Structure 1
Amino acid sequence: MKNILCYGDSLTWGYSAEGPGRHAYADRWPSVLAAELGSGALVIAEGLNGRTTAHDDHLADCDRNGARVLPTILQTHAPLDLVIIMLGANDMKPFICGRAIGAKQGMQRLADIVRGHAYPHDARAPKLLIVSPPPLTPTEDADFDAMFDGGVAESRKLAKLYAEVAEEKGCGFFDAGSIARTTPLDGVHLDAENTRAIGRALAPVVRKVLEL
């Protein structure tokens, strides 16, 4: 049995702009990935709305800094064979970071944490798969448009920058924007079909990484 941690934000949690609400469990990409992989893998969904790569959100009601929380999550779910990280959309908020380069640096920090964490019982560090989230989409939702001001253009840079991080760190990379699109309802989140598409597309990538 291979243990896989999916570490992300609202795209991993399953936020639905319709409503708004949360997608059905079966529609969330970690659930779809688990179904595709079958009994040979345990997929752990660790998504939190608003989570960033490594930046503070002082308006949040809980800790959204992905770098600060990740060591605890790694310890909680150890031993792990693979960590999949899909973060960066919330870094595009100008009052948090607002620049793709800041998300790249945050992702570098997360990769270093995964590689360098003191895992219990001398367990080896898991393999790492970095996933760039689908770019933001222009929206007529005034609140989201203002919240992510300038984020559409910056988010389009993430795939290239994250691929550079993956090459630097010697880990896997997947561009979720190659198969999924964010909804214009709010410009940030995914409808059910697009989140399912990410789970389906990641399955062969994960099989290759873990030799399943």
Structure 2
Amino acid sequence: MTQITKKILCFGDSNTWGLNPETGKRYDESARWTMLLNQQLGSEYKVIEAGQPNRTLVNNPPFTGELNGIRYLKPYLEQHVLSIIVIALGTNDLKKRFNLAPADIATSVTQLISSIEQFYSPADLPQIIIIGPLFINPQPGLSRIYLNYEQKLLPLNVLFERIAQEYGLNYVDISKLKAPLGSDGIHLNYQGHKQLSELLSQVVLQL
């Protein structure tokens, strides 16, 4: 009997891509939370990495074009038969230059979910997991880029969770991860990737 492989699309920004805050390069497969998740779930699952540094929910960042989440998700949906979609976005939307309130960012989450639901028939709709915003702590050199971020994080977490409940989705609150950030206060360190993969594997196996 042929085993059916369940495909999981992990759609996010540089923390999904696996940016190493200490080197500025990419973590290898032994460290990225996406690949660690794949290892923990085993051969029944295949994780598709769809991380892109600077990806946003709301706006296209200057000079980088096709990074808006809603615009760039569709090609993945067309290419793969998915069982689960993990959405890990929102951090880049906190940047000062976008001047977005938590409600603006949350509205884009609902638009992204609606776009996914409209793409599929009800019978084919994958399970959707929403990862809450990363509780960043920008260090000197980056703090001006994320000016006033601390006023937005807690309300944004509440809004993300509320949206997940309204749509009947699975919500992962990562505010309780222990010391997950590297020296820049923005990107997950090795331990953060490990903790996130373990948390997500528990959620996936319960679906």
TM-score, scaled to structure 1: 0.89
- Distance between the aligned counterparts of 2:71 and 2:166, measured in 1? 22
Superposed, 1:12-31 pairs within 5 Å as 12-31=16-35
Q: Quick check: 1:101 aligned with 2:99?
A: no
Superposed, 1:31-180 pairs within 5 Å as 31-57=35-61, 59-77=62-80, 79-118=81-120, 124-140=124-140, 142=141, 144-180=142-178
- Distance between the aligned counterparts of 1:148 and 1:65, measured in 2? 19
**Paired letter, 2:77:** L
Residue segments in structure 1 that go unaligned for 5+ positions in a row: none
1:26-77 per-position Cα deviation (integer Å, ceiling 9, x unaligned) = 21111111011001111111000011113222x1323110011111221122
| Matched positions, count | 203
Shift of 1:132: 0.8
SS at match of 2:48: strand
Shift of 1:118: 4.6
1:159-201 per-position Cα deviation (integer Å, ceiling 9, x unaligned) = 2111101011111100122225453622211111111210111
Aligned equivalent of 1:198, options 172, 196, 199: 196
1:120-167 per-position Cα deviation (integer Å, ceiling 9, x unaligned) = xx9711111111132111412x2x111111113312332211110101
Contact in 2 for aligned 1:52/1:90 (Cα 8 Å): yes
Go from structure 1 to structure 2 and tell me whether the alpha carbon gap of 1:180 and 1:116 turns closer, same or farther (over 3 Å shift): farther
Could you tell me the percent identity over the aligned residues? 27
- Distance between the aligned counterparts of 2:113 and 2:84, measured in 1? 12
- Distance between the aligned counterparts of 1:206 and 1:145, measured in 2? 34
- Distance between the aligned counterparts of 1:149 and 1:179, measured in 2? 23
- Distance between the aligned counterparts of 1:199 and 1:13, measured in 2? 13
Contact in 2 for aligned 1:55/1:97 (Cα 8 Å): no
**Paired letter, 1:126:** P
- Distance between the aligned counterparts of 2:57 and 2:179, measured in 1? 21
- Distance between the aligned counterparts of 2:179 and 2:157, measured in 1? 14
Contact in 1 for aligned 2:31/2:193 (Cα 8 Å): yes
- Distance between the aligned counterparts of 1:94 and 1:76, measured in 2? 35
**Paired letter, 2:27:** H
- Distance between the aligned counterparts of 2:63 and 2:76, measured in 1? 19
- Distance between the aligned counterparts of 1:15 and 1:207, measured in 2? 26
Contact in 2 for aligned 1:54/1:66 (Cα 8 Å): yes
Go from structure 1 to structure 2 and tell me whether the alpha carbon gap of 1:88 and 1:181 turns closer, same or farther (over 3 Å shift): farther
Go from structure 1 to structure 2 and tell me whether the alpha carbon gap of 1:180 and 1:104 turns closer, same or farther (over 3 Å shift): farther
